[in-house]
Each structure stands twice: as structure tokens, then as C-alpha cells.
Amino acid sequence: MIEMKYEIVIGLEVHAELSTKSKIYCSCTTEFGGEPNTHCCPICTGMPGTLPVLNKNVVEYAIKAGLATNCQISGFSKQDRKNYFYPDLPKAYQISQYDLPVCKNGYIDIEFDDQHKRIGLTRIHIEEDAGKLFHDEMDAGSLIDYNRCGVPLIEIVSEPDMRSSMEAKIFLEKLKAILEYIDVSDCKMQEGSLRADVNVSVRPFGQRKFGTRTEMKNLNSFKAIIRAIEGESRRQIELIESGTKIIQETRRWDDNKGVSYSMRSKEEAHDYRYFPEPDLVPIVIDEGWIEEVRNLLPELPHERKKRYTIEFLLPEYDASVLTSSKHLADYFEQVTAICCNPKLASNWIMGELMRILKAKELEFSEIPISAEYLAKLLILIDKGKVNGTTAKKIFGIILETGKDPELIVSEQGLEAVCDEGAIVMIVNRVIEANNKSVLDYMNGKDKALGFIVGQCMKESKGKADAKVINRILKEQLEKLTDNS
Amino acid sequence: MKIKIDNIKNSALLARLIFSDEEIVKLTTEMENILLFFDKINELDTSNVEPTAHVMNLTNVFREDVQKESFDRNQILSNASSHQGGCFSIAKVL
Amino acid sequence: MELFELTAHELSYLLSSKKTSAVEITESVLGRISEVEDKIGSYITICRDEALKRAVEVQKRIENGEAKSPLAGIPMALKDNICTEAIKTTCASKMLSEFIPPYNSFVAQKLNNSDTILLGKLNMDEFSMGGSTESSFFHKTKNPWDFERVPGGSSGGAAASVAAHETIFALGSDTGGSIRQPASFCGVVGMKPTYGTVSRYGLVAFASSLDQIGPLAKDVTDCALIMNAIMGHDDMDSTSLRAFYDDCTKGLINDVKGLRIGIPKEYLSDGINDEVRRAILDAIDVFKSLGAECEEFSLPLNEYAIPAYYIISSAEASSNLARYDGIKYGYRAPKYTDLLDMYNKTRSEGFGTEVKRRIMLGTYALSSGYYEEYYMKALKVRTLIINDFQKAFEKYDIILGPTAPTTAFMFGEKENNPLDMYLGDVYTVAVNVAGLPALTVPCGFDSKNLPIGMQLIGKALDEKLLLRAGYTFEQNTVFHKRKAKG
């Protein structure tokens, strides 16, 4: 395969909206959505004479992000103006950081296929988000909403260390988990609070020099990012194989069509004319402040994973899956706190719950069953009050109706039949009604046992525990043999 | 420092300004004179000098992360040439 | 004497001794405006009805003892680049000719809290770029001393209105001399405060690291009162200083004994008009006779201040004025073919020639390949200029010189040579580059009876000392008492 000759080189620039209460340079809310232009003021709409004042938490969140990703925190950093014209940018410049960002030289360790790899982070800097420009179908004009304008962002730039779409995905998942863990961003890709620009280039294996890279901006789902990387690397390889040079440019990835388009227009290559923002003063971060923030850092994903293996005695695999998202880990701990059976909780979360989330395309922040209810269900299982099959049924009913599992059990009479006497009666009834199968079994047809057990389950309306039925059935059948 | 017409055209594009051909010629001469005058600062040796972006040496001016009520949308839109459905609007072609 | 001819402190005395009322004063000034405004053209917007209404309110507050400020009841006007809520703020530009800010600038609010009365908004050079007020989109302002001559700029309307008594005092803005030079041309007192002492929130930005708002007044006492009212820390301006803001009227002492005054010899050499030089030398003699120690010294970097200033200010301006794109407010071109065309036409039609020229210079100075050579270099030269002043202030308390190299020039005289206009800033720009305070006071007249101004430059936050020197000079001369014919 031609692809095997080439190595794909990937770098990511991730933008995460910070979950501060107010915007970066003014006191408007950062809440998502809202009627257009209702989260605005003269400052974030760039009216004449207005001035920015930096939100202290934005710096703190950036320091947190830097510490959680092993960065050096700059003792002296400043903000700069990035000048360009676009309708979603009211001042016609974005306040960002050019040469002195808050954080530098960090890394994130990722695992895949039993390999460990360190992905370098060049820098993390703070900047303001722009508004939203959309096109009015009716008038073929443009409409602009500045609600998002001024929402604080951190931009996390990776080194070009990734070599496949899978590595990129794992890196992003890890980064997202970290940012959620330290509570600096809600990382909701579907709301745009986490976006990635992807830089892709290819080079023949063994070549040291990087190939020409292209950039695809503002991809906002993991799937799109993976497809974009794969699509673009294929495109570049095809071009190289046909002797065409790759042009360094920005391309737009159309996820629906699975292709990218060049965004080069008749306009100039951007000359952003960066210069130090005269309306804002430099940021000095001393060791004291860094330590303060470090002490505020919560348990990070790898620390939590380790704790799960020790405290809850969970296998590494389970711990890994559960801690891959703060929401999931928090949920797991809430459930375990109530039901006191971590392994059972882990099984159900990784099993039934994950299955439902995937099927309904829900995020870990959108778990559709409360920790309390799941825990109650698990307690019922643990106490033997319902069997496995019934439990799954109840799970489904909770999702549909939102009812308390205990209520469902009593309403629908789903309590396991535990009374041995009752089971003996059921078993005997079934034996009587299925003489042929019993004889088959006695004559060595093991399969017939399964049939009889199934009939017993049916008789018990699924409420008896299969293991108990098996045991009692065998006992009764032995009695019969003894008797005969 | 000879300034070329291409530089002027590039600056105009960056600044979103258009000039007639005559204006460009006039502007080129004017700017050349002014830039020649600017060149004077190159007489000074600044090899060991730090740039001063802010005269008053302030650092760490912050606001607390407190959310306050935003402006009424009517005020935000009050000076717009056109708006629609609460958004600023630009017709595609006029 | 008419009420409109008096100073704020004189009127304040009359008010407190109940010899007049805020309404009377306001009516007097409005009457004066009606009389001369057609000839002078200081104003862009006059808020006649609002002013009278406000005067009635203020008078009530004075009567029941609620209005405690020494400026209570005094009518004033603001340069039209200072945002006033619900009142048009145009920056004398087509681009903002209909702009009505939904918010107030810090200084307008402060003056409001001091119970002053806003008469209207004053003419200026478009977006503060210019030295003659000729580039105003609306009309030219005449110098009250000679209607064929410019009042100076960019705060030309502010200076002319004070000189012609169309206001008791005014606020202007100063980026490279825009308060001081017109004050000098119009024979009034003008002050640029230390950078960071007067909030820029609501001042439509020209060059952010250089702009400051300041007073234009009939005498130094009024100037001190106004400074007290507008100085102070503002949370909405990140470049606002948290300092101890002392009472500026403590500087109103008639005494300069032992004051060390340095006069840069570069100021009095070539390029200065002989009569202006004469007036400055005479002023130095006055100071000497009052016990100050006056000495010439060298300020070698002064000639580099103009290019450094123009590079920094144009660069910042090119960025500050980029927001005028027709989308959110302001002028929008009526016809265009696509977005790029809309931007191009809006900005080319909305801005005047000088503004466009400065934007082009600034864009060029910041652009890739030229940034190091121009902008970065200018910021380094700035450091050298600051050091130059610091060295001077080790030996001297105040630096003295002319405010402008000439008296008011004729309309159209500098039209064809923008560089010529820039060179008129030779004494004023270094002060903005270094962020220092400076005061201009009338110190003479030329043979055409045109005012000459003397500039006093001080250390950062040393406004009181400047006011003392200015006050002493005033108390011992009568230049500030001569009236413009207009």
C-alpha cells in the first residue's frame, strides 16, 4: 500500500472556552446560547472609547491548565493585538498573546496499544473568542451575534508529535479529561467550547525534514477530526505520488462530504501585525501565585486512576475507563458511595450504561440515570432481590419512565422469587409438564436441561434466579432418579 | 528608504482602504517623505535598549470574576446601520 | 463684566454668596454662544435645552446644600471625542457623525457628579489627528484672536470656546500636544496630566499609550479645580494609576523661590519664531526675578521625539480605528459589491485624508518586514527619551520652553505639507512619549496680537509643582487678562 511509505505528522491547536462566570475583558456572562446580542456591552462589542480589563480567573485557569500539563509558567507575560478584519471581530483585532504566553513547554502522556507516548505542548496562551457570523438564507446577507465575543479562551498548541488519527484522538481525549478535571472548561464540543485546528503533513518514512503542512480549522467533533486527518493525509499522499507539490494553506473540512476545500481567497495571506496591547499591562506571575494555584489543583486523571486501583481494588483497565472522564469518575464514586460495591458499579457503568450512552450519542455529562437510582438498582442486585435479567429490564424502565427502581419492582411485581419452596413447586410443575425433556436429559441429552431451565424461568416469570433454579432442578431430578 | 507602490497597495489592503490611481501616487510621495523623516530614529544606537510599551510600569491589573448584567439589546443595536432578528446585519450586495 | 467672562472660581464665589444662580450663568454663556458661535464655530453640538434644564436641577442642589463641588453650577463643554451618554459624539468625522453612545465616559460622569452643566460638544481635528482643527468633517473653527487663523488642534474647538467665553472651561484630549498647542494659540491655560491619572474610559482612542484628557481654562486656578474633579483611579481603565491624588489647589501658591528651572537649548535654537523666542526669554527673566534658578541644558534626544511619536501614534491609531467597519455603528457605504468592498468603501468614504494617511503609515510601520525597523525601534527610542528626561529631572524641578514654534498660522498654510504640520509638535510630543505632565500658560503676544504660550514640563505626578509655577507666573503678569476681540 502506498500509504505505508509515508509517515503522517499531526499537530493540533486546541481552543477551550474557559468556564469563568464573566467574559475575559468585561463583566458580561459567558453562558452559552441566549437570544442574540443579549450577553453584550459596549466593551465586548468594541464601541468607541471602551477599554478592556483582564479577568483574574482567566489567568488562574491558564496557570492551572499549564500545571496540569507539565508546562513552565512564565514569570512575565503580556497580551498582544492580532489585527485582521472579519465581521465576527468587533474591534478588528483580537487580544491574544504573541511571543510571551502564560505557559510553555509542557506535555501529555498518552497510552495506546500498550505503548506510551509523550506528546509535547509548545504553549498555552489566553485570548478572547469572537462572535458568531451566520448567513441569512432569505436575504443572502450576513447576521452577527456578539454573545460569544469576549468569552475567554485558552489556546493549547501541541508539538507535531502525533503520527496517526488515533493518536490525535487519544491525545484530545486526554486533554479534554484533564481540562474537565481541573474544572477550567466544560469542554462541550457540540457547544463549541472545545475546538481544534488540525495541522497535517506527510513525509516518506525516514525523511527528517517535515513535509509541507496544511491547516484545517474549527473542527468540533472527534469524528470530524479523525476523518479530516485521514482524508487530508490521503489527499496529500495522492498529490505527492502524482508529482504535485503540496501548497501550504488553510483548508475547510466538510465532514458531510468527507472532503476538504482550499480556503485561499483573493485576499492576502494574513499579516496580523502583532504589537503589544497598549490598553493592558503585563502579567507577572511569581512562585507564590503558582504555588497557590498548584494547591488548588484537584486530583488529576492519572492520580485518580491509581487511587481506584488501590482504594476500590479495581483492575487497571476498569480504573482507566472510569477515569477517562471526570463526569464518569464522579458518577462512579457517587454510585459506589451509596451501593458500596465498586466492582458491581464498575461493571454496570462500563457495561449497560456505556452501551446506552453510545446508542443515544450522549456525553458523559449527560448520563440519563441518576447515581442514586443506579445505586439503588445495584443494591437490589447485590441483595439478591432481583436477578441479572430482571435488573437489565428495570434499568430500561428507569430510562424510559424516570421512576425509582424500588417503585418499579413493587409496581410490576418483579421481585425475584427467592422462596425456595416456591421454586421447588415451579420446578416440579415444569418437570411434570415436560416428561419427554426430562427423559431426554436422563438419557444423556444435556441440552434438554437448558430447555427445562428455560421453562422454569418462564414459569417464574423471569423472577427466579437462574442459578437457584439450576440447583433445585438438579436436586429434584436426582430425587426422581433415586426414586426410580 | 524607497517605498514602492506595491507596499502602499499592500498596506491599503491590510487597512481596508481604497485610493484612486492619482491618490496612490500622491500618497506614495507623501509617505516616502514622512518615512524618510522617520528613518531619523535609526541614527540612535538601541542595541542594548529595552522597548517601552507602557510608560507607567503597571503590572497585574485585574478584575474579579463577577458577572454583571449586560446592556439591553436595544442599546447595543441602537447605532447599527441595519439589524434583523436581534442580530447586526449586512446585506450581501447593495 | 458679563457672567460669561468670569472664571469658574469667580463664579463659584458669586454662587456661594448667592449673587447669581446656575441658571443665570448658563443663560449668560448660552447667550454668548448665540452671539459669536456663527463666527467662531467652536461647537459641533450645542445642548441648549438640556443645559438649561440641568442648570435648574443644579441650582436646587446648590440651594439645599447638596452640591459641594467648587465647580457646581459651572457650565462647561467637552471635546467631541469624549463619549457622552445619549448625546452625539462624532470625533468630527463622517464616520461617527450620527453616533450616540449608550454609555458615559468616566470624565463626563465625574463632571456630572461635580454638578457642572454640559453646554455641548466641541469641534476638533478628525479623530484628533491634526494641529489646526481644519480636518473636521463639519466646519473649521476660527481663532478668536484672528478669524483668518487656526485655533490650533486637535482640541481647537475647546481652546477657541474658552478664549471666546463660549464656555467657562472645557476638556480636551492630548496625544502629541492637542490640548497645549491650541491653548497656546488661543491664549488660554491648558494642561496634559501625567499618563494614567485621568481615565481614558470613554475617550475615543487615537493612540492608547499617549492619549490623555485634560482641562482648558481661563486661568491656572480653574485648571487646578478641574484637575481635582477629573483625576483619579478608574477600574474600567487598566492603565489608570492607583496613586495618591493630592488636592491640586495646594499648588496655587505665589512662590517660585529656589525652583530649579531647566531650559533645553535645543528648544530655542532653529525653527522657532523670533517673537516666540523673545517671549520665552522674557518669561525666563520673570521667573528669575521671582527667585527661580533658571539654566540652559541639553536635551539631546528631543529631535528624535517627533519621528518616534508619529510611528507609535500612527501604529496604535491604525489598529484603534480598524473597528470602524460600518457593521456595528457609524457610517456604512450605501453601495458595495461584497464584504471586502463594503469595508473598503465604508472606510474610504467615512474617513478624511489625514486620518487615512496616518492609518496607512501605521499599518506600514506594523507590517511584516517593517515592524522591527519602525515600531520596535520607536519603542526603544521611547526608553531613551524617558531616560533623557529622568536625567534632566535629577538637576531640575521643571523644564521650560515654548509650547509651539510659532503663533497661530493662517488657514490652509500647512495644507500641502503634512510633514510641516507634524514639525509643529516639536516641543509637545516628547512629553506624551514619556507620559509626563505639562502645563501651558499665556506668556506674551506677537506683533499681530497673537498669543504665545509657555510650556512647563514636570516629573510624573508633579502636577502641583507645575501649577505653582504657572500660578506664580500668572500672578506676576497680565497676559492671561487680555481678551480676544472675537
Tens-place pLDDT, residues A43-98 = 999 999 999 999 999 999 999 999 999 999 999 999 999 999 999 999 999 999 99
Residue (of B31, B34, B14) closest to B23 by Cα position: B31
* Tens digits of residue pLDDT in C434-463: 999 999 999 999 999 999 999 999 999 999
Domain membership of residue B18 (yes or no) is yes
Q: What is the pLDDT of residue C330?
A: 97
Rg of chain A over Cα atoms, rounded to whole angstroms, equals 30
C101/A contact by beta carbon, under 8 A: yes
C-alpha cell at B20: 484612486
What whole-number percentage of chain A has pLDDT above 90?
65
Residue (of C96, C104, C156) closest to C355 by Cα position: C96
Low-confidence ranges of chain C (pLDDT < 70): 486
Q: Inform me whether the pLDDT recorded for A267 exceeds 50.
A: no
Whether A46 and A126 map to the same domain: the answer is yes
Query: Chain C contacts of B80, Cβ < 8 Å?
Result: 327-329
Question: Total domain count for chain A?
Answer: 3
Domain membership of residue B93 (yes or no) is no
Whether A101 and A145 map to the same domain: the answer is yes
Q: Say how many Å lie between the first and final Cα of chain B, rounded.
A: 41
Domain membership of residue A110 (yes or no) is yes
Query: Chain B contacts of C419, Cβ < 8 Å?
Result: 33-34, 37
Contact A194, A180 (CB under 8 A): no
Cα separation, C100 vs C370, whole angstroms: 38
Q: What is the pLDDT of residue C79?
A: 98
Q: Inform me whether the pLDDT recorded for A213 exceeds 80.
A: yes
Between residues C254 and A407, the one the model is more confident about = C254
Q: Inform me whether the pLDDT recorded for A405 exceeds 80.
A: yes
Domain around C19 = 3-258+397-481
Residue (of A3, A47, A2) closest to A25 by Cα position: A47
Task: Determine, for residues B93 and C338 on separate chains, whether the beta-carbon distance falls below 8 Å.
Answer: yes
C4/A contact by beta carbon, under 8 A: no
Per residue in A387-421, is it b (16+ CB within 10 Å) or e — as a string?
beebbebbbebbeeeeebbeebbeeeebebbbeee
Domain membership of residue A204 (yes or no) is yes
Please name the residues in contact with A55: beta carbons below 8 A apart, sequence gap of 6 or more: A20, A22, A23, A24, A25, A152, B62, B63, B64, B65
Domain final residue, candidates A389, A412, A435: A412
User: Which are the catalytic amino acids of C?
Assistant: 79, 154, 178
Domain membership of residue C289 (yes or no) is no
Residues β-bridged to residue C297: C264
User: A: neighbours with 3+ CB pairs under 8 Å?
Assistant: B, C
Domain membership of residue A242 (yes or no) is yes
Q: Quick one: pLDDT band at residue A269, thresholds 50, 70, 90?
A: low
Q: Which of A29, A283, A284 shows the shortest C-beta gap to B70? A: A29
Q: What is the pLDDT of residue A434?
A: 86
Whether A149 and A267 map to the same domain: the answer is yes
Whether A432 and A402 map to the same domain: the answer is no
Whether A353 and A444 map to the same domain: the answer is no
Q: Inform me whether the pLDDT recorded for B93 exceeds 70.
A: no
Q: DSSP state, B90?
A: E
Domain around B25 = 5-41
Q: What is the pLDDT of residue C49?
A: 98
Question: Total domain count for chain B?
Answer: 1
CATH assignment of the domain containing C87:
3.90.1300.10
C-alpha cell at A223: 469524528
Which H or E run includes A212?
A: none
Domain final residue, candidates A255, A289, A323: A289
Contact C123, C139 (CB under 8 A): yes
Query: Chain A contacts of C201, Cβ < 8 Å?
Result: 49-51
Domain membership of residue B27 (yes or no) is yes
Listed range (A124-138, A254-268, A425-439) with the worst mean pLDDT: A254-268
Q: Which of C89, C322, C366 shows the shortest C-beta gap to A275? A: C366
> What string of H, E and C letters represents the secondary structure of chain C?
CCHHHCCHHHHHHHHHCCCCCHHHHHHHHHHHHHHHHHHHCCEEEECHHHHHHHHHHHHHHHHCCCCCCCCCCCEEEEECCECECCECCCCCCHHHCCCCCCCCCHHHHHHHHCCCEEEEEECCCHHHCCCCCCCCCCCCCCECCECCECCCCCCHHHHHHHHCCCCCEEEEEECCCCCHHHHHHHCCEEEECCCCCCCCCCECCCCCCCCEEEEEECCHHHHHHHHHHHCCCCCCCCCCCCCCCCCHHHHCCCCCCCCEEEEEHHHHCCCCCHHHHHHHHHHHHHHHHCCCEEEEECCCCHHHHHHHHHHHHHHHHHHHHHHCCCCCCCCCCCCCCCHHHHHHHHHHHHCCHHHHHHHHHHHHHHCCCCCHHHHHHHHHHHHHHHHHHHHHHHHCCEEEEECCCCCCCECCCCCCCHHHHHHCCCCCHHHHHHCCCEEEEEEEECCCCCEEEEEEECCCCCHHHHHHHHHHHHHCCCHHHCCCCC
Domain final residue, candidates A289, A315, A344: A289
Whether A312 and A276 map to the same domain: the answer is no
Residue (of A31, A363, A20) closest to A190 by Cα position: A363
Q: What is the pLDDT of residue A418?
A: 66
User: C: neighbours with 3+ CB pairs under 8 Å?
Assistant: A, B
Q: What is the pLDDT of residue A266?
A: 41
How many other CB atoms sit within 10 Å of the CB of residue A197? Answer: 18
Domain membership of residue B11 (yes or no) is yes
Orientation angle between helical segments C302-320 and B21-38, nearest 10 degrees: 140
Q: Is A423 helix (H, G, I), strand (E, B) or coil?
A: helix
Q: Quick one: pLDDT band at residue A386, thresholds 50, 70, 90?
A: confident
Domain membership of residue C217 (yes or no) is yes
- State pTM to two decimals: 0.90
Domain membership of residue C55 (yes or no) is yes
Q: What is the pLDDT of residue C147?
A: 97
Residues 31-70 of B with CB under 8 A from C: 31, 33-35, 37-44, 46, 49-56, 58, 61, 63
Q: Inform me whether the pLDDT recorded for A265 exceeds 60.
A: no
Domain around A271 = 2-289
What average pLDDT does range A292-319 have in this prediction? 93
Domain membership of residue C225 (yes or no) is yes
Between residues A218 and C60, the one the model is more confident about = C60
Domain membership of residue B15 (yes or no) is yes
Domain membership of residue C144 (yes or no) is yes
Cα separation, A251 vs A232, whole angstroms: 9
Best mutation target among B52, B60, B77, B93 (most C Cβ atoms within 10 Å) is B52
Question: Total domain count for chain C?
Answer: 1
Q: What is the pLDDT of residue A268?
A: 47
Domain membership of residue C203 (yes or no) is yes
Place of cell 491509581: A306
Residue (of C262, C297, C268) closest to C281 by Cα position: C268
Contact A149, A199 (CB under 8 A): no
- Chains A and B form CB pairs within 8 A to the count of 118
Interstrand relation of A54-55 and B62-63 (parallel, antiparallel or unpaired): parallel
